[in-house]
Each structure stands twice: as structure tokens, then as C-alpha cells.
Structure 1
Amino acid sequence: MKEDKESWLNFFQWLKSRGLTGVQLIIGDKSLGMLESIPEIFPNAKYQRCTVHFYRNIFSVTPKSKIKLVSKMLKGIHVSENKSAAREKARQVAAELRNMKLKEAAQKLEDGIEETITYMAFPYEHWNRIRTNNTIERLNREIRRRTKVVGTFPDGKSALMLVCARLRHVASSQWGVKRYLNMKHLENMNAIENEDMIVG
């Protein structure tokens, strides 16, 4: 799939046509095409920028010798107990980055922090699972690993069959064993928000 707006619009519309409803959060790696298409197809959904991709973006302007320290500092932001604490920690980290002569890293942090703490508006029990898109990235790596072994497929159908077989295996073994998210937490949060809207 291309990463342009039209491709994302088509993909999201296809998901909706297959019955996808109630989307509250979309996690991604800051693809501009995706960001532009979210409000059109899922106007009530919030966007969460993958924290891992965000860190990598900051590391791209950080000297190798300082990446470990900067990584620790960034992770300190995302273990905060709420958004205001995370914002305050981000301000402190940005100031420290400037003291370390890492102005570009500090600027990237300040420019992108809000997109990386969206998950904090959701149940705490979900935070570790919804702040990155690592799960889907891991699945994509597994599919690439399996298809690389084959090399060249005789046709698109055989490639699709291998990918589907791998997805079925993962769904029945890894994903089928334990629940990824307990949706009761989200249902309770939504019920409380709906009560507040009615009362307010």
C-alpha cells in the first residue's frame, strides 16, 4: 500500500465497509497520508503517534554516544501518571537536551510530544499496549521472514495463501491464548464520560 492520502482513505473506507465501527484511537508512525484521512473517515477517533517511532526520530539527530541517556530521559516522560505530568516532564527533558547542546532533539520533542501522549486519555490498564504500533510491526516482520524464505512466488495467489496461513496461525496460537485488551476498562470509561455529558 502506498502511504498517500488516497490510499489511506481507500483502506479506511474498506475497513468501514467490512463493518468497522466505534473507532476511538488510531496508532501510527506519523504517515501524513494517514493523518490527513483520519478526520474524514473516523472524525471521532484520536491519533496516537507510536512512541518508538517518535524516539527513533529524536535519535536521528542525537549523537550515538548520547542515545542511551536520551532514551532513558524520553522513557521517563511516558511513565508519567497523567498528561499534565508527562507535559511537565517533557519540558524538563527538552531543557536538559538544550543544556546538552541537542537543540534539534529538544525541538523535535517539543513539536511531537502531544501526539505521543494521546493514549493517556484511555484506561491506564491499556497504556502499555496502545502507545506503540509494535504488535502490528512484529506481525509484519514475521510475514516478511516467512515470505523471504520462499523467495519468488509463482503468482500473487500463492503469496496471499502463505500470508493468510501465517496470520491464521498467529491468531489461533499467540492472539487466541490471551486477551490483548480487556475492553471492560474502556466500556467503563465510556459509560462515565456519557454520564458526565448527560449531567453536564
Structure 2
Amino acid sequence: MNNLTTDILQTLATKGDLNELFRSHLELAVNTLLRTELTAFLEYDKYDRVGFHSGNSRNGSYDRTVKTEYGELHLQIPRDRNGEFKQQTLPAYKRTNGTLEETVIHLFQKGITMSEIADLIEKMYGHHYTPQTMSNMTKVFTEEVSAFKKRKLNSRYAVIYLDATYIPLKRKTVEKEAIHIAVGIRPDGTKEVLGYAIAPNESTVTWKEILEDLSDRGVKDVLLFVTDGLKGIKDTIHHVFPQAAYQHCCVHVSRNISSKVRVADRKEICEDFKTIYQADSRETALEARLAFSEKWRSSYSKLAKSILENDNLLTFYDFPLSIRRSLYSTNLIESFNKQIKKYSRRKEQFQNEESMDRFLVSRFDTYNQKFLTRIHRGFQQAEAELEKMFERLTN
């Protein structure tokens, strides 16, 4: 049985302070390790005659305090006379243990405010961290938010999806605000979150700012944009990327149809509409659309006319067959946005826009790393044909 085990048993028997026991043993262990480091560096033990006239020797120590979950460690950092020894036991200049810093940064990423983190740390570890200390700990991640927004992007994207989701945000009061998100698939089939913006409501003004930002960061050629059909969005896209094709999400159109017909007709009319965007070819889709219009125009004339005249429903048929299922809707980005909402519900509200920024960029970075090398379904087979489409776009 070692000394620590014996001390633990004795402390438990006397109902002593286990935290203090662990703190003192940790302090002893770290100080011993520091002295051992210097011995290994000098290559001789303290008071060993081998060290005489060796050209370097011990030169006392300086005090340093490090905060841990068990309390403060009072350490003596040894020095050598030549000033060449650099200890590796403790990270330079850190006053807290790495685990605690990682905890703070993790909480910061989740959108928790400085004051909330400080209160939590004090309850958990029994000592107070000033707002400045907390700010220093999380400065690195704040810089990562800025780096995410400013990073350079690829010049080409086969498709870019635009969609907004709503999350509660506190300004003076708490209200849901629109998180505008752009996700792009590169010609090789890998995908990433390109950019985002927070605004009270979804609008073409905000989307225009995002698109201009993408252009400024290097995006030049985009084959296709897919959106839910926000009024004016097509013109907004073509203002920044005039050569890009545009696809109106067929799933959103189907939902819109469902809301405009009687309950008794919903299933049948939606099944009929599905034959349009699940056809084998554009020609078959055109026939299905005409049949849809003729069948339903007597009951729902305005709806039938809008489907017949909406050429943006069939744009995806101009693309390789292997990727069409990924292009006729915004399902790809909507499923991602659902994950964003799911994680955001773990926090009742974001206290300010900066806390939401940190949360969002944390999720976006995770997504981008996950799909950095994963090829989206069908894009490997379509790569050569997509390259030809880019050539036609730029010629």
C-alpha cells in the first residue's frame, strides 16, 4: 500500500478534507518532477562532485502558483546558473490547469456568457476568476470566430444551398432571430458551411450581404443555387452570381400545395406533384407537370397555373443524373439546421449576438471537419460532367 492510499484511508477514517490531501500530494509530485527535470538537464544529482566545474549548476528557484480543481499549488520552479533550463512539466505562463481552461472554452463555445461561466467555475472549484481572466482564456476562440468569417473559399462550387432557421436571441428582450446559413458542395463532392449572418428576420437584404461576402472571399463560379423560394431571392442571387442556375426547392412547393388545398385532396395532389420532380428525365417531368395542371386546374386554378409556369422547379434536370436527388430540395441544409436548433435548445437563450456567434462557429467547424474529405452521394460519378459544365459557364 503506497503513501497516498494510506493517507486516503486515514483521511476518510477521520473525515478529513480529501481535496486538501489530493492538493498536497499533487503539489509534492509536481515539485519533485520539476527538480528531477533539472537533474536530467544538468546530468548530475544535487551535491554530486561530477557537477564541479561542469560549466553549469543549480541556481535556486522562483515561486509560482497554479490553480487546479483541488486548490492552489505552490510550486518552486528550479533554475540553472546559465539560464538554459526550460521546464516542460507546466505550460509556460499558465496560472490554471489545462483541464479547467478546456472546460471554460467548451462552455464559451456553447454560447454561455462570461459571468455565467465565472459563477459556475467558482461553485465547482471554489475560487473566483475575474472577467478579465475569463476573457483571456476564451480570447483564442473569439479569434477563431473572426477567422471563420474571413477565411478564403474555393473559387468553384457545384451547388450552394441557402436556408434560414430561427433561434431565440436576447437583445433588450428575447425573440427568435433568423440565422441565414449558406452550405456549398465543391466540384469534388466535399461540402462546407461557407458563411452565415444573424438578423431579426430572413430577408433578401441579408442574403445579398452574405453572397457579396462569399464573392469577396474568393467564390467566382457557382453552377446552381437551391433555396426555399423566398420572394426576390432569385434576383438577389443573380445580382452577385449572374451566371448561376437557380432551383426552387420542390419539397417546399409541395408543403405550400398541401396548405392550399382541402384536407381530402392533400395526399392525392401531393403524390401527383411528386411525379414531376421524381421523373427520369426533363421530358417526362414536363409531361407530368402538364398532366398535373390539367387534372387540378378546375379545382385549384391558381395553384395549377403557378406550377405550370414555375420553370425553376425543373432546373436540376440539367445536372448529372447521379446527383439530381440532392439538388431538387434544400433537405441537405435543412437537416443540418435541425441539428443546430437541437443543440441550441440545450441553452434557454443566447445573452447576446457574440455568444451566438461562438456557438454557431463551433457547430460549423465541427461540420466542416466532418465533411472535409467525405464525398457527397453521386458527386464522384458526376465530377467529369460537372467540370464540363464549369467550362461552359466560364466560356
Bin of the TM-score, shorter chain as denominator length: 0.7 to 0.9
CA distance in 2: counterparts of 1:166 and 1:36, whole angstroms:
30
Aligned partner of 2:362 in structure 1 is 165
- 1:57 to 2:256 alignment: yes
> What's the C-alpha RMSD, in Å, of the aligned pairs?
2.4
CA distance in 2: counterparts of 1:126 and 1:109, whole angstroms:
23
Aligned ranges 1:29-68 → 2 under 5 Å? 29-68=228-267
**Letter of the structure 1 residue corresponding to residue 350 of structure 2:** F
User: C-alpha offsets along residues 77-120 of structure 1, whole Å, 9 cap, x if unaligned?
Assistant: 11222222211111111111135x233332232132x1111000
Aligned partner of 1:106 in structure 2 is 304
Calculate the TM-score normalised by the size of structure 1: 0.84
Secondary structure of the equivalent of 1:151? coil
Calculate the TM-score normalised by the size of structure 2: 0.45
Q: Which has the higher contact order (CA 8 A, sep 6+)?
A: 1
Aligned partner of 2:291 in structure 1 is 92
Task: Work out whether residues 6 and 33 of structure 1, in 8 Å CA contact, stay in contact via their aligned partners in 2.
Answer: no
**Letter of the structure 1 residue corresponding to residue 253 of structure 2:** F
Percent identity (aligned): 21
CA distance in 2: counterparts of 1:46 and 1:192, whole angstroms:
11
- Structure ranking higher in strand proportion: 2
Of 309, 318, 321, which residue of structure 2 is paired with 1:121? 318
**Letter of the structure 1 residue corresponding to residue 360 of structure 2:** V
Residues 177 and 69 of structure 1, relative CA distance in 2, 3 Å threshold? farther
**Letter of the structure 1 residue corresponding to residue 368 of structure 2:** A
Deviates most, 39-48 or 185-194: 185-194
CA distance in 2: counterparts of 1:159 and 1:192, whole angstroms:
38
CA distance in 1: counterparts of 2:321 and 2:337, whole angstroms:
27
CA distance in 1: counterparts of 2:292 and 2:389, whole angstroms:
34
Extract unaligned runs of 5+ from structure 2.
1-198
- Structure ranking higher in helix proportion: 1
Of 142, 145, 155, which residue of structure 1 is paired with 2:352? 155
Task: Work out whether residues 8 and 33 of structure 1, in 8 Å CA contact, stay in contact via their aligned partners in 2.
Answer: no
Extract unaligned runs of 5+ from structure 1.
none
Aligned partner of 1:79 in structure 2 is 278
- Structure having the higher Rg: 2
Deviates most, 84-93 or 149-158: 149-158
**Letter of the structure 2 residue corresponding to residue 102 of structure 1:** Y
CA distance in 2: counterparts of 1:139 and 1:192, whole angstroms:
27
Aligned ranges 1:169-180 → 2 under 5 Å? 169-173=366-370, 175-176=371-372, 178-180=374-376
Deviates most, 59-68 or 128-137: 59-68
Secondary structure of the equivalent of 1:96? helix
**Letter of the structure 2 residue corresponding to residue 105 of structure 1:** L
Secondary structure of the equivalent of 1:136? helix
